[in-house]
Amino acid sequence: MKWLKLNRHGLLILVFAIIGCKKSEKGLESRVETLPYYNEASFTPKWLSNDEEMETLHKIPSFNLMDQNGEIVTEQTFKDKIYVTDFFFTTCPGICPKMTENMVLVQEAFKNDPEVLLLSHSVTPETDSVQVLKTYADNKGAISNKWYLVTGDRKQIYDLGRKTYFVEQDLGQEKQE
């Protein structure tokens, strides 16, 4: 009799557990949340209340750089795409290898998704030539037209880093303003 009573309690607990784990009808609906935008270097999130506010958002300005294949890369290369960007240099002994390792992981995760691209800016364009970037890209397994390693005018790259992507560090060089 005691065994039967314990089994009933166990059965009731099991039934309540199953009912509690069942998805509610409301839980089946997709919960839509809007993501914030970041409009300034403080990275204070901003949620838009209307489409007109979209016009005031921070945008990436025009740029013209050269990738590891000697091809011109502009902001139009990334139009209507999601992209991950970083700043590095091929001889960097510090954080760059870890950042590049993470870019390799991102590339692998999204290699079959044409909507996701990667963009790595060399902060030492005077040494990171197209050929140096090509060798580096090949060694890291960078997929052409997926991961763009770019070089070009030093001032343009530094302005992009500091004024557009809000990079606060030295970008590997003395800060010259």
The CATH number of the domain holding residue 143 is: 3.40.30.10
For residue 96, give the nearest of 132, 126, 124, 74 by alpha carbon. Answer: 124
In a domain, 81, yes or no: yes
Q: What is the pTM of this model?
A: 0.72
- 71 & 154 share domain: yes
Domain that includes residue 138, residue range: 62-164
Same-domain pairing of 73 and 125: yes
Q: Is residue 54 part of a domain?
A: no
Q: Do 160 and 101 belong to one domain?
A: yes
| Closest listed residue to residue 171, CA positions, set 64, 88, 84, 91 | 88
What confidence score (pLDDT) does residue 45 get? 77
Q: Do residues 84 and 153 both lie within one domain? A: yes
- Tell me if 53 is assigned to some domain: no
Q: Is the domain of 141 the same as that of 100?
A: yes
Q: Are residues 141 and 84 in the same domain?
A: yes
Q: Is there a single domain that holds both residue 20 and residue 90?
A: no
Q: Are residues 71 and 16 in the same domain?
A: no
Claim to verify: residue 92 and residue 142 sit in the same structural domain: yes
Same domain, 148 and 92: yes
How many structural domains comprise the chain?
A: 2
Q: In this structure, is residue 107 part of a structural domain?
A: yes
Pick the closest to residue 117 from 88, 156, 149 (CA basis). 149
Assess if residue 36 is contained within a domain: no
Same domain, 69 and 151: yes
Going by DSSP bridges, is the β-strand pair 116-122/147-151 parallel, antiparallel, or unpaired?
parallel
Domain membership flag for residue 37: no
Report pLDDT for 32: 52
Query: Is 6 a domain residue?
Result: yes
pLDDT by 10s per residue, the chain, length 177 = 554 454 555 544 544 445 555 555 555 555 557 777 777 777 677 777 777 777 777 678 899 999 999 999 999 999 999 999 999 999 999 999 999 999 999 999 999 999 999 999 999 999 999 999 999 999 999 999 999 999 999 999 999 998 888 886 554 555 554
Q: Is residue 44 part of a domain?
A: no
